[in-house]
């Protein structure tokens, strides 16, 4: 199968204004589906082949339910919008029952050691991941006007599920944030002098509503890339945000340097934020709002991490030891 087919899928999704990350994920799953069936064109495949692939993901790869659902969504799009043969709503495949893992959480002392080990140019981003409980992509997609210095908060737009929310911001990092905005300003001034610079990327609706916003400092990314790049949707020259993989690598390097002995990722910092809020006395609804969880049951998983035991239950072994003192 030629890559021209996947390029066509990607172009169709861009025209329908899908998010860049969604496009990348869908194209990846479609490619895996095609490779699984010996690189046969999807037009030659049918629902039985889709079911076989979804079964394979569970029975052989043991993927989580969320991963299998993402693969299914990609194939639903493929057959509905590209092949124009929509899949049945009654597909028969093995559904994943792999439970979600309990989150890895750092102690406050471990957080201190870890943050000290982060490379200086990535430290502010890690402060936000932990201090404001941001997801990785929420962090790298921040724009300068999302930072509210007056109210010590950060505004998150179009997060998971298209939700908006306001999260806390540690006042201790205000100086670093202002310094970062100065860096953005220096890039911005240079870029405005470039003949073919077309400003920062904006969602389609905002482009229509704010026609000149793409060249205003307020809309530029808080963590800009050091290189200009062409917008894959329009071909225009823009300055995008940093690649999240660079931040992920910095976190891995800091984890190794700090020698904490836990599997630390960007999401570990978010997990630690939630758990430490609960430890500090915040009620679970407040933590739910800060994390942007739709269902409070998703937030309740952090109660299982607290040092005082699951749901606040004291171990009988502890009581036994106390009775012997």
Q: Tokens 């040092």 correspond to what residue? A: 307
- Phi/psi for 46 (5° steps) reads -135, -165
Evaluated on CA atoms 276, 280, 285, 286, the torsion sign reads: negative
Q: How far is CA 112 from CA 106, 123, 172, 222, in A?
A: 10, 12, 14, 24
Report yes or no: 75 and 32 within 8 Å, Cβ to Cβ.
Answer: no
Helices (H), 16-104: 20-36, 47-59, 65-77
Evaluated on CA atoms 115, 120, 124, 126, the torsion sign reads: negative
- CA dist., res. 302 & res. 102, Å (int): 8
- CA dist., res. 26 & res. 10, Å (int): 9
| DSSP output for 140-193 | HT-BGGGEETTTTEEEE-S-GGG--EEEE--GGGHHHHHHHHHHHHHHHHHHHT
> Which candidate, 227, 228, 208, 210, places its Cα nearest to that of 219?
210
Give the H or E element holding residue 123. helix 120-131
Query: Which positions are annotated as active-site residues?
Result: 135, 160, 267, 270, 293, 302
- CA dist., res. 253 & res. 242, Å (int): 17
């Amino acid at each position: 199968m030629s890559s021209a087919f996947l390029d066509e899928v990607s172009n169709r999704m861009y025209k329908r204004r899908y998010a860049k990350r969604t496009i990348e994920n869908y194209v990846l799953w479609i490619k895996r589906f095609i490779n699984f069936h010996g690189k046969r064109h999807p037009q030659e495949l049918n629902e039985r082949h889709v079911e076989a692939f979804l079964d394979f993901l569970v029975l052989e790869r043991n993927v989580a339910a969320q991963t299998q659902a993402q693969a299914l969504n990609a194939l639903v799009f493929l057959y509905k919008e590209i092949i124009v043969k929509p899949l049945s709503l009654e597909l028969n495949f093995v559904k994943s029952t792999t439970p979600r893992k309990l989150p890895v959480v750092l102690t406050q002392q471990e957080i201190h050691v870890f943050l000290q080990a982060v490379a200086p140019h990535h430290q502010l981003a890690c402060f936000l991941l932990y201090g404001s409980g941001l997801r990785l992509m929420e962090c790298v997609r921040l724009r300068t006007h999302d930072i509210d210095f007056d109210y010590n908060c950060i505004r998150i737009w179009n997060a998971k599920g298209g939700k908006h929310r306001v999260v806390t911001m540690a006042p201790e990092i205000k100086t670093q944030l202002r310094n970062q905005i100065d860096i953005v300003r220096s890039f911005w001034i240079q870029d405005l002098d470039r003949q073919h610079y077309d400003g920062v990327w904006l969602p389609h609706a905002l482009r229509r509503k704010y026609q000149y916003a793409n060249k205003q400092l307020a809309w530029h990314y808080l963590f800009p890339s050091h290189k200009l790049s062409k917008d894959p949707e329009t071909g225009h020259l823009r300055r995008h945000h940093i690649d999240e993989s660079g931040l992920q690598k910095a976190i891995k390097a800091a984890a190794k340097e700090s020698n904490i002995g836990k599997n630390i990722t960007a999401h570990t910092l978010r997990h630690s934020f939630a758990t430490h809020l609960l430890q500090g006395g915040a009620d679970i609804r407040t933590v739910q709002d800060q994390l942007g969880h739709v269902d409070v049951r998703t937030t309740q998983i952090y109660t299982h991490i607290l040092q005082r035991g699951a749901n606040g239950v004291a171990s009988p072994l502890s009581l036994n030891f106390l009775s012997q003192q």
